[in-house]
Structure 1
Amino acid sequence: MKVEPYLFFNGQCEAAIAFYQEALGAELLMQMRMNESPEPPPPGMVPPGFEHKIMHASLRIGETQVMLSDGDSNTPASFKGFSLSLTAADAAQAESWFTALAKGGQVQMPLGKTFFSACFGMVVDRFGVGWMVIVPQ
């Protein structure tokens, strides 16, 4: 069994994909817009203005697949109660990822040495997704 995150960005999914590609080197595996669905959605399912938004996308970040969507305009993007964790090979890689994710976001705990890691920090990116960046001991 594996658990994979599925994030809903309420209209900002395309920008989020571009951001993660640049910040983390994410690879876009698949993307389908609402109007590209092989089956038409039930009437009223796609809100006005969301026809060209992303119905489903899949990114590979390192060895992990992250699924994404714009969702619908009635579901605000809410990423509270969890963080995604990135394990870096060394402090230089951790710094690069952390700095990229912090652009337009908010640092919750600056990257630095802790009792459990040579390099650890927490940041919320510009889309409200929490990230922990760590270099294992």
Structure 2
Amino acid sequence: MKSADTYLNFNGNCADAFEFYRSVFGGDFTSQMKYSDMPSEAPKGAEQSKRLMHIALPISKTSRLMGCDIPENFGEMSGNNFHIYLDTESNTEADKLFAALSAGGKVSMPMATTFWGSYFGMVTDKFGIQWMIGFETNPQ
């Protein structure tokens, strides 16, 4: 396997979310397409044509964060049964990412050293995406 990437679905605010993620992680989008870029079988409507069909942002050497705005005729396709886990290189990097992702969001577990020996925290960002951020202080 080459990689396992995370693909997020949004309801019209994918561009805003990915600008936010670019401010957190840095880098440049490797692809970005709107529904208006599609051939004639694309979802129709002025509002739909502004939505993102696909966007990708590398967030590490091997991982990409990708997403799209779900076409209106697909109905609701969101879920809260997952977290994106960021395995960091240091406490400092963990704190930096946690602070950035927490802006406008909701902290469910502040960054702290845990009983299992990790520096760890959990946050839901302002777009409703759940994140776990950790630094393995005692890797097994």
* TM, length-normalised to structure 2: 0.86
Contact 1:34–1:53 (Cα < 8 Å) also in 2: yes
Aligned length: 134
Counterpart in 2 of 1:106?
106
Instruction: Quote the offset at 1:48 in angstroms.
Output: 4.3
Gaps of 5+ in 1: none
Residue 130 of structure 1, CA deviation:
0.5
Q: Where does residue 123 of structure 1 map in the other structure?
A: 123
Given candidates 41, 53, 64, the residue that maps to 1:55 is 53
Output the CA distance in 2 between the equivalents of 1:71 and 1:84. 20
Report which of the two has the higher share of helix: 2
1:79-94 pair list within 5 angstroms: 79-94=79-94
CA distance in 2, matches of 1:119, 1:27: 29
Asked if 1:46 is matched to 2:47, the reply is: no
Aligned alpha-carbon RMSD (Å) = 1.7
Residue 65 of structure 1 corresponds to: 64
Distance 1:125 1:116 in 2: 25
| Identity value in percent | 32
TM-score by length of 1: 0.88
Give unmatched runs, 5+ long, in structure 2. Answer: none
Deviates further, 8-17 or 71-80: 71-80
